[in-house]
Amino acid sequence: MHRIYNSGILAGALVFLISVIVISVGFIPSTANVVTAQIGSMATLQNIDANYAISIIPGASQRESAYHYYPPAVAVPTGTTVAWFNNDFGQPHTVTSGSPNASDIGTVFNSGVMPATANSFFQYTFNRGGDIAYHCIIHPWRAAVVSVSNAIERGTYFGLSSGTGPVWDFNKDFRTLLNIEPLTVPLDRTTPIAYNITISKNDNSTGGDTGNNVFSDTYVTNGEALPLELVRGSGNETISYGPDFSSTGAYHIEGPFFTGNSNYTIRAEITSINDQPPQNQIVDEFSLKTVA
Ligand SMILES: [Cu+2]
């Protein structure tokens, strides 16, 4: 998900390219809140302030491509900043809110034409709940959606906000982004904080309530909350990857252990702050139910 390309561009060539594209596309919706797509350098990519990356995949301009944006559907908590990267080298694209042919396209966000150059990205912060469809004006045959939730649970030491709330319904969402935010540890954007995340599954089939530990790993952020996406796994393997960006980017857990109609406990603990164990235990447990 995290891709960095090396390439320089000439501003003049870029302006020319955009002019050609705009002319050939024919229109930009007049209602659009056009925001110029940003062209990140290596440095800005490292320092990008987004939480979640969506890729405009290689081949996205082709009609037969299964996806234009990947992942095509995500569920995120309010406050999440999503960054879309044009990884379809040599092709211009847009990230434009609304379904193709809808009357309100581009009213929530519109990247304008993202140049067909390396490191071209657009970002938007979702501050309101709801499902927001979007598409590419140039290739309007693969719409995508960001589902935004206001759901938040407060523990003693952490606030847990998520894209789906305490019930994760696989009929709607294959993935859900959690944001695990410490309530008692200052987030100074600098001091390393190590989070241990343990997921246990309560096996109802035996009538028992005992949690089987199905996942445990430690993630470090630089004085930031922990964005952590849960993905319903398709294979037999558990995959943990990330972050999407240096400090604010999401980590991901893709697990075959996420199955429908199950109950999970997510345990979050801060195991070190600036490489020192905290003086008091900082730990909370949250319940998550899956429905299929
Ligand atoms: Cu496109």
List strands edge to edge, sheet with 167-169: 167-169, 282-291, 262-273, 192-202, 211-222
How many angstroms does the Cα of residue 88 sit away from the middle of ligand 1?
9
Phi and psi at residue 135, in whole multiples of 5°? -160, 180
Number of residues that this document lists for the chain: 292
The domain covering 11-148 belongs, at the CATH homologous superfamily level, to Cupredoxins -  blue copper proteins (2.60.40.420)
**Residue-level pLDDT, tens digit, the chain, 292 residues:** 333 333 333 333 333 333 333 333 333 333 333 333 344 433 345 557 899 999 999 999 999 999 999 999 999 999 999 999 999 989 999 999 999 989 999 999 999 999 888 778 999 999 999 999 999 999 999 999 999 999 999 999 999 999 999 999 999 999 999 999 999 999 999 999 999 999 999 876 555 556 799 999 999 999 999 999 999 988 899 999 999 887 789 999 999 999 999 999 999 999 999 999 999 999 999 999 999 9
- From the CA of 174, how far away is ligand 1's center (Å)? 23
| Strand 251-255, strand 239-241: pairing | antiparallel
Ligand 1 geometric centre to CA of 138 (Å): 5
C-alpha to C-alpha distance for 179 and 170, rounded to whole angstroms? 19
Q: What DSSP character marks residue 32?
A: -
How many whole angstroms from 137 Cα to the centroid of ligand 1? Answer: 7
Tally of CA atoms within 13 A in the half-sphere of 92 that contains its CB: 20
Q: How far is the CA of 93 from the centre of ligand 1 (A)?
A: 4
**Ligand 1 centroid – CA 87 distance (Å):** 11
Q: Which amino acid is at 201?
A: K
**Token duo for residue 5:** 């390309």
Q: What is the pLDDT of residue 118?
A: 77
Neighbours of ion ligand 1 (CB under 5 A): 93, 136, 138-139
Task: Return d(Cα 115, Cα 99) in angstroms, integer.
Answer: 22
Q: How far is CA 53 from CA 50, 67, 257, in A?
A: 8, 15, 24
| Ligand 1 centroid, distance to 90 Cα (angstroms) | 11
pLDDT value at residue 3: 35
Residue 264 contacts by C-beta under 8 Å, 6 or more apart in sequence? 199, 200, 201, 202, 258, 287, 288, 289, 290
Q: Is the peptide bond before 58 cis (omega within 30 degrees of 0)?
A: no
pTM of the model: 0.83
Domains 11-148 and 151-291 share a fold: yes
Cα-to-centroid distance, 140 and ligand 1 (Å): 7
Residue 205 class from Cβ within 10 Å (0-12 exposed, 13-18 middle, 19+ buried)? Answer: exposed
Distance in Å, CA 54 to ligand 1 centroid: 13
How far does residue 118's CA lie from ligand 1's centre (Å)? Answer: 15
CATH of 151-291, one of 2.60.40.2550, 3.30.230.10, 2.70.70.10, 3.40.50.300: 2.60.40.2550
Give the pLDDT score at 125: 97
CA of 228 to the centre of ligand 1 (A): 28
Q: Where are the domains of the chain?
A: 11-148, 151-291
Using the structure block, give the residue that is written with the tokens 């952590």.
Answer: 228
CA of 91 to the centre of ligand 1 (A): 8
Could you count the other beta carbons within 10 Å of the beta carbon of residue 260?
12
How far does residue 92's CA lie from ligand 1's centre (Å)?
A: 6
Instruction: Write out 123-136 in H/E/C secondary structure.
Output: EEEECCCEEEEEEC
pLDDT of residue 205: 54
What's the gap in Å between 60 CA and the centre of ligand 1? 6
Dist. CA 124 → ligand 1 center (Å): 17
